[in-house]
Structure formats: structure tokens, C-alpha cells
Amino acid sequence: WSGTGISGTCPMAATDLGGQVEAFNDTVKGRGTYQICAQATGDLDKEYVVYVVGRVFRTASATTPIATRRIKAIVHGKPAGSYAVQTGPGGLIMRNSSNVSQGPIYVGGYLAMSNTSSIGKPTVPIDVNVANARCGNGGQGAGVGQYPQVCASGVLPDPITLNSVQAHIYGDVAANGQTTSYPTQMTDSGLGATSGVAPPALPPYDRPAHAAAWVAAGSPTLTAAAATCPGNSGTVTWPANVKITGNVDIKQSCTVVVSGNAWITGNFLMRNSALIKVAESVATQPIIMVDGSTGVTTQQTSTVATNSSQVGMEFITFYSGQSCTLATDGTYCDTLNGPQLFTAKDILTVDIGNQGAAAGSVFYAKYTKVTLGQAGEIGALLGQTIDLAQSGNLVFTSNVVTGNFEWGVSFYDFWSP
């Protein structure tokens, strides 16, 4: 934090007049100054406590102010134009002590919370939108040829269910067809709209272009065995636009350095303190395309790491049970029809657990389901269905999607040194 009016200590002592900035000085109003400083809260990324001191002096030469005001504010940056959690019709399921600490959140289907699961906190409320688009023609699972569509009033129970008195949402909530407001469990400011939430569209991806880039790069190819360490440790570097054939199993303290986009024809498994990280020279988030039927699994203290510039990677799983989602030519289907999607949304292709950490990266189950558990920390989740279990804490870190933030004041009060 730097700029004009910054004090040398934070918060400022009562006698600290360093770095004062003059706001006005004339014979009518006298002279006004301010000081400002900021400290990271230590709770969330992009959250600061800002201290401001304003003083008014009777004359330009006066050294003793006639009025002093001190204000403390908590400001928080939210990602602009992107979501920490975004689901399709399968919805968002939160269990045990799972927590989403940054947002916003956009749910296509329903939101079910139990035990001590929570979204946001009093000082950092999170916008939650639930479209209730989980019906076909006549109800959930009925007429799936028209699935998903927003459920008609009374067809299904509320799209948001808080199955424990300890489950809590802090933030502005909008949910189509919601009849229960949960006034003590949805606060700051809680349920505000029961219509008008459009079903979200999960982002497309140009899979054929990814495959064409592999060809343009000279078709660099590695076997699954060559893509990981031969022993209990060591380092392997994946070249940019590489295609890896087979199931990749990174384990036993192996380190993999990613130089750009990659394409894995099988599954991707990390375990036993393995590490995959973005090369220092990479400035654009690499996309890891995974085709296997079990997709991506991280466990046993494995880590997905950014480089020092906070550039992470994005894993996208393409298995759906339909061959067209694995195509790389004109037969590729970026979306599925109703019956296909109704089945695919329950297939697990991203499983992050057992202390798996990926605080700077994105996981996207394009047609299927994501599960996060056992204190796994990641940058962002997208999927047709998302299940947050155990003590999973979703932290949307800087530069994961856009790197752009909108800043707002979530709390302010007067303070004294």
C-alpha cells in the first residue's frame, strides 16, 4: 500500500503528524489535512483495514487542530466479472465445516447447506445467486429433453435449503422461487429477490484450437511415464503445448514444472507430497486439458502452485460419457443436450482432498461434478455440480481468472489511538 498521505506507522499514534496531506487551505474554511494507512487483515486476500485521520485548523499557520476525526474502514476487493464458485443445474452442496470465504457465487440449480457450512462472514458478505434451473418439462428429471430450465413455482422445494441452524450465508441473496427467508441464517443482508436470476452459462472452451496448437508446435508428446519423476523425487518439465498419453501419476515428492498448455489423454493423479507448478517464465495461465474418465485427483498433501508472479493454472476435464466431448474436430460438442447433461452432472471428474492445496488455480468439470474436501484450498471452482465437504475452504486468490478487483467498504467505525 503506497501513495500520498501514507503514515510511517499503522495505525497512527495520536502525536503522529507525518505524511499529512493538505485537503484545503483558505481564509474562509481554514486549513484541513488528512493521513491514511492500511494493514492487511490476515484473514482474506485483498482485505485491508484502512485508518484515516482528518484534522481542521483554524488558520494556515495553526499547529493545534480545532477538530479531529478518526475513521477505520475494512475494504475488500472482489473479483470483477468472474466467480469463485459457478455451477450448472447440479447445484452447490456444502457439508460439515466447508466454507466459501470469497465470491461471488452463481448456482444454476440448488444450494444445500448443512452442519456448520458457511458462505462469507459478517465483515465480508458475498453475493449469492441461485437460478433454480434444475427442472425439465414438468419437474425435476421429468421431460429431461428440455432440461435444464427454471422450475415453475411449487414444483420443487426451495432452491436454498439450510439443513442446520448453524449453517449461514452472509451476503445479498437472490434465488428464484425461494419461499423460506431463513432470517437468522441469511444475513448481511440476506434474501432480497425471489425472481430474476438468469441460469448461468458455464464458460465455453475451444478444445479443437487447443489440439491445433499442439500440432502447430510440432506435436510435442510425452508418455505418462516420461511426464513424471522416475524415482522418489526430482523434477520434470513439461514443454508448452505438450500432449501426454495415458494416465499421469505424480507422487513421492516429484516436482513437475508446466511451461504452457498441456493435454492429458488419460487421468491426472497427484499424491504423496507431489508438486506441480507454473514455470517462472510463464505469464499467461496454462490450461491443462484432461480426458480420462476419473479426470483430476489431488490427495495426500499434494500441491498445485503458482509461480512468483501469482500465475496459476486451470484444469478442465472433458469426460462426460459422450464421445463428442473428447473430439478435437468438427464433431466436438461444447454443450450437451438435456438427457446427456442430466446424467453427466453426477459423474465425478475433479476430486480435491486429503490436504490437497491449489490456492492459485482453477478446476473446471465442464460437464460433470467437482468434490472438494479435507481442507483442500483452491482458487476457483466451476462445474455442473459442486460438492464442498469436510473442512474445505474455497479461497479465491488474486489473478486466478481476471486479476481485476472491485473494491468496496464492508465495515467502518470511529477509532482512537
Q: Residue 52 to residues 1, 16, 73, 147, 359: CA-CA distances in angstroms?
A: 14, 12, 8, 53, 32
Q: Is 178 exposed, middle or buried (0-12, 13-18, 19+ CB in 10 A)?
A: buried
Nearest alpha carbon to residue 204 among 341, 367, 74, 354: 367
Lowest mean pLDDT: which of 24-38, 259-273, 279-293?
24-38
Nearest alpha carbon to residue 287 among 204, 374, 373: 204
**Alpha-carbon torsion 227, 237, 354, 78, what sign?**
negative
User: With 60 as the cut, is the pLDDT of residue 334 above it?
Assistant: yes
What residue ranges in 29-185 does DSSP mark as E strands? Answer: 30-40, 47-57, 67-79, 85-94, 99-100, 105-107, 111-113, 118-119, 128-130, 133-135, 149-150, 160-162, 168-175
Numbers of helices and strands, H then E, in the chain? 2, 32
DSSP state at residue 82:
-
Contact 325, 336 (CB under 8 A): yes
- When pLDDT is cut at 50, 70 and 90, the band that residue 37 belongs to is confident
Q: Which helix (H) or strand (E) holds 10?
A: none
Q: Which helix (H) or strand (E) holds 341?
A: helix 338-344
User: With 80 as the cut, is the pLDDT of residue 276 above it?
Assistant: yes
Bridge partners of residue 56, in order along the sequence: 32, 67
Percent of the chain with pLDDT over 90: 55
pLDDT tens-digit readout, 105-163? 999 999 999 999 999 989 889 999 999 999 887 566 666 778 899 988 777 779 999 99
User: With 80 as the cut, is the pLDDT of residue 182 above it?
Assistant: yes
**C-alpha to C-alpha distance for 330 and 345, rounded to whole angstroms:** 24
Bigger pLDDT: 107 vs 300:
107
pLDDT score at 395: 59
Q: Which three cell numbers stand for residue 295?
A: 479426470
Bridge partners of residue 112, in order along the sequence: 93, 161
pLDDT tens-digit readout, 351-360? 987 666 677 7
Average pLDDT over residues 194-201: 89
pLDDT score at 82: 62
**How many CB atoms within 10 Å of residue 395?**
18
pLDDT score at 4: 42
Q: Which three cell numbers stand for residue 416?
A: 482512537
**Gyration radius of the chain's alpha carbons:** 25
Lowest mean pLDDT: which of 11-25, 368-382, 396-410?
396-410
Average pLDDT over residues 365-383: 83
User: With 60 as the cut, is the pLDDT of residue 25 above it?
Assistant: yes
Average pLDDT, the chain: 86
User: With 70 as the cut, is the pLDDT of residue 217 above it?
Assistant: yes
Lowest mean pLDDT: which of 151-155, 380-384, 396-400?
396-400
